[in-house]
Structure 1
Amino acid sequence: MITMIFVSACTKINKGSIPPEKYCEKDTDCVPNKCCHAEDVVNIKYAPNCNGVGCTKDCRTILDCRFGTPICRYNQCTIKRLK
């Protein structure tokens, strides 16, 4: 009988090395950092209050017009390009 053992190595992320406003555990933790024409993403706890804010429909940044979306990668909020 042959016994096979698989060992999985995972890189543990040092939470202390990621700024708290960028730290995430899942994609839904990450949102744009500004109400209009955001250029970066942050943890939802650090998101601005956009109630009542009106934005233009200009496509100025990667997050405008759905060219990018906030995601959580290696426990850090970042932007995934879609096109």
Structure 2
Amino acid sequence: MEEADKTPLSLIDRLKLKAVTQKSYGGALVEQEAKLTVRNCPNCGAGRAKDEGLTICAYCDFEFLSVRLTDGITIKKENNSN
């Protein structure tokens, strides 16, 4: 063995080695054509970006989605004191 093989790697060399061997967190890159999704307001015709969280038109206050929030299902602890 050579003397260079016995010396530990420097911090910079370890960082370079880690950068080369790491895998992408998001998985493989999927290439798609550029696109624009737009939806017009049925009340006033104003264009808006098709965003899932947008429920009211910014221009005429038309309600796209009526969302009713509830507490959901509540599970209560049973009281088994006999």
TM-score (norm 1): 0.22
Higher relative contact order (CA 8 A, sep 6+): 1
TM-score (norm 2): 0.22
Structure whose alpha-carbon radius of gyration is higher? 2
